[in-house]
Homo-oligomer: A and B are copies of this chain.
Amino acid sequence: MENIPFQQSSPRKNKTVASAGEEKIISIADNFFSKTIKTNVIKGIGDDAAVLSPPSNDFYQLVTIDSIVEGTHFTPSTLPEKIGWKAMAVNISDIAAMGGIPDIAVVSASLPKNLPIDFLNQLISGINSAAEKFNVAVVGGDTVGSDILSITVTLLGKVEKQYLCTRDGAKQGNVVAVTGLLGGSFKSDKHLTFMPRVEEARWLVKNAKPCAMMDLSDGLAMDSSRIAKASNVSIKLFFENLPVRPGFSIENALNDGEDFELLCVFSEKVLTEDIKKEFEEKFNLKLTVVGKTAPPPTGIFLNDKKIKTKSFNHFG
């Protein structure tokens, strides 16, 4: 995995968030996050709302929200720094998928009363690690008591108007590609420690102008079907091309959730061997052509067999 400096200490059971109180929690968060503040932040944590200078007229603003919840996105034994990293990273991945630059975050944490304050410190440290790594300023938040630990992050980003990349731009005859390896994200712990593909996506929108792009959160089959539907094309995936993570199956590569790789659609003539090679050498990361777009009706085919798209159902 990528090199994230998590401390491997387990949280000690001493002071809890309930005994520390809300003001103490805010001061811990403020202490971490005040380091992330940058020039477009007029006022961060400590008022009814944060105050920002909006991006210039050359940019679109991007906004995304994602929650991670104990029992669904992590387990009671997940290290708190990894929970924090994931909470921020899943949102950064969404901004990357639009071709954008992560910018400003607010965080809401639902915390069990008996949560040790050490655990909270490490959780916030994990959020902060991802924020610092991707130059995100955390400008505000909210904490509430709850029986279940969950973290919600809203992330604002920005993208130069000419680089915006949505899901609905794929045309017939395009090629479909993915970064990295697919499948087994839960078993391999990748879902907790992945590095959002911000630099990679920025390079692609500047050098290979994807027609459509998204991040893989619900599996290649399901997420391909989303691009297919938004763009009104079908997508033919090639069985033999899938970059399956060693130790996992084609089925895993198609249907496992939370790969957080980029799924991109390119004009065939743009995605030359040279461009692919340049990308792979620059980022030490595979960029694999996994399929082609074809005429509607919308649907996903594996070689020539139509496949039913299954997704990770949070309510299943």
Contact = CB atoms under 8 A, between A and B. Distances in A.
Interface of A: 17-18, 20-22, 42-43, 46-57, 59-69, 71-73, 93-95, 97-98, 100, 104, 106-108, 110-111, 113, 139-148, 150, 152, 154-159, 164, 166-168, 214-215, 230, 311, 313-316
Interface centre among A69, A150, A152 (most CB of B within 10 A): A152
B315 A113 contact: yes
B316 A18 contact: yes
A154 to B, nearest CB: 4
A158 B254 CA distance: 43
A244 to B, nearest CB: 24
Contacts of A66: 108, 142
B65 A61 contact: no
Contact of A61 (B53, B68, B148): B53
A90 to B, nearest CB: 9
A57 B141 CA distance: 25
Given A21-B315, A63-B156, A67-B110, A49 B97 contact: yes
Counting chain B CB atoms within 10 Å of each CB, which of A94, A113, A142, A145 scores highest? Answer: A142
Contacts of A22: 311, 313-315
B144 A72 contact: yes
Contacts of A94: 48-49
A56 to B, nearest CB: 8
B61 A51 contact: yes
A116 to B, nearest CB: 13
28 contacts: A18-B316, A21-B315, A21-B316, A22-B314, A42-B60, A46-B230, A47-B98, A48-B93, A50-B64, A51-B60, A51-B62, A51-B166, A53-B61, A54-B56, A54-B59, A57-B57, A63-B104, A63-B106, A63-B139, A65-B142, A67-B142, A69-B110, A72-B146, A108-B152, A110-B150, A111-B315, A145-B314, A147-B148
A313 B65 contact: no
Contacts of A18: 315-316
A139 B43 CA distance: 25
Given A22-B315, A54-B60, A106-B154, 11 more contacts: A22-B311, A42-B60, A49-B64, A52-B62, A52-B63, A63-B154, A65-B108, A65-B154, A67-B144, A72-B144, A148-B148
Contacts of A56: 54, 57
Contact of A63 (B57, B140, B147): B140
Contact of A50 (B20, B52, B62, B214): B62
